Structure 1
Amino acid sequence: MMSTISGTTGTIRAVAGRDAARRARPLLLAGVVAGPIYVITSLTQALTREGFDLSRHAWSLLATGDLGWIQRANLLVTGLLVALFAVGLRHGLAGGTGATWVPRLIGLFGVGMVLASFFSADPALGFPPGTPEDYRQMSWHGALHVVTASTGFVGVIAACLIMTRRFAECARRGWAVWSAATGMLYVGALVGLSSTGTPFWIFTFTGAVVLVFTWLAALAMDTRGGQRPL
């Protein structure tokens, strides 16, 4: 009798697990498309908006000026997609190291982007056109943009490092190295950008952003495929 009940319980759990995984697949797809949307939209603006210089200006400055609404909308849409991905990832990881905290931290990254979309960065370094080169004032919304975006950055960095351990435990060395490199490059780029802001660190930070979104998209596809246990 007990064995029958135990077998029935196991079957119910298995079916529930499959149902949860099925429901998670569309949410995981959000993590695949979030990065391309953000990067393509940002890069298109960077190459077409008057006065924007990729070697001097971070993408956050695109949220300023008359056309700043485009980048703010970009942040909002991308942040919502990342948050949806985090919900799907919670079902996809299904136990093990980071199964609870990695989705939360990636969700924090998404929420940080959403909040940053409501608080635009301050003009700086001659952008948008008409801004003095030495303009250094920080408004309340500029300060909140920095705080909300930075909180999200910390979240995704922590997620990368936790996933490094998870992948190492599963003997997926390539994934472990990639996750660690992504997190550490983001840390270095943030420190370099905030301390010097030279063209080298501007490009490094931009590259780190692209790498993070590439990592998120790959993680979403890997989890969605379900070919190997994470």
Structure 2
Amino acid sequence: MLLWIGAGGALAFPVVFLVDGWLRSGYSSARHTVSALATGARGWLQTANFILCGLAIALGSVGLALAGPLPLAATTGVFGLGLVVSGCFPMDPMRGYPPGTAQDDPEDFSATHRRHDAAGAVVFFVMPAMPAVLALTGEHGATRIVAAVVAAGLIAGVAAFNRAWEKDAAWTGLVQKGTLILACAWLAASFAVAA
């Protein structure tokens, strides 16, 4: 049951941020990050998405630990808890969202924003680590090859997102969302296979 809870959380997380972003007035899915959805009048929805899906993934990691692949369980647990912390400490309004916010970054970030950034750094660091540890420790050749390909894709995605974020590129949100979707889809499949 824990593994299916984890799979559900991994699948629900991108579904919620994609649908919510599509329905939000003034939100650009191409430019704005997922975390920007936790600001504004309807920010509670993305906050709940971070926390509930993060908890579901963390519970799934307990199921993975019981099933045996401990390195994958550990990295998955860190990923899930990183999402929870990201939800507990939302980012500051910036870069034009919510509507009416200045287009650039604030001169000083709040303590809450800095905590959000620290949690986000953990999330994006551990994303490629999840498939990487399975590529190194998995039992089956095909599983290890798929995990290695996904890890390489996530490393490239995280690097591209970091570059886009620093430049405030018009496609920053698109790259971030693609990277998160790849990680969550692979993680949901990993939970399902382990179940």
Same fold (TM over 0.5): yes
Residues of 1 paired with 2:22 and 2:161: CA distance?
23
Q: CA deviation at 1:48?
A: 1.3
- Counterpart residue number, 2:82: 112
Find runs of 4+ consecutive structure 1 residues off by over 3 angstroms: 176-179
- Give TM-score, length-normalised by structure 2: 0.90
Report 1:33-48 matches (<5 A). Answer: 33-48=8-23
1:31 alignment partner, SS class? helix
Higher deviation after alignment, 199-208 or 180-189: 180-189
2:171 alignment partner, SS class? helix
162, 170, 177: which one aligns with 1:199: 170
- Counterpart residue number, 1:138: 109
Aligned AA (2:73): P
- Counterpart residue number, 2:62: 87
On the 8 A contact 2:39/2:98 being kept in 1, the answer is yes
Residues of 1 paired with 2:165 and 2:27: CA distance?
19
Report 1:69-88 matches (<5 A). Answer: 69-88=44-63
Aligned AA (1:111): L
Aligned AA (1:65): G
Residues of 2 paired with 1:103 and 1:31: CA distance?
11
- Give TM-score, length-normalised by structure 1: 0.77
1:105 alignment partner, SS class? helix
Residues of 1 paired with 2:121 and 2:130: CA distance?
14
Unaligned runs of 5+ in 2: none
Does structure 1 residue 128 correspond to structure 2 residue 98? yes
Residues of 1 paired with 2:89 and 2:113: CA distance?
6
- Counterpart residue number, 2:6: 31
176, 184, 187: which one aligns with 1:213: 184
Does structure 1 residue 103 correspond to structure 2 residue 73? yes
Q: CA deviation at 1:122?
A: 0.9
Residues of 2 paired with 1:191 and 1:157: CA distance?
14
Q: CA 1:129/1:176 → structure 2, altered by over 3 Å: closer, same or farther?
A: closer
- Counterpart residue number, 1:8: none
- Counterpart residue number, 2:124: 153
Q: CA deviation at 1:155?
A: 2.3
Q: CA deviation at 1:223?
A: 1.0
Residues of 2 paired with 1:176 and 1:42: CA distance?
25
RMSD: 1.8
Corresponding residue pairs, total = 193
Q: CA deviation at 1:174?
A: 4.1
Determine what percentage of the aligned residue pairs are the same residue. 29
- Counterpart residue number, 1:163: 134
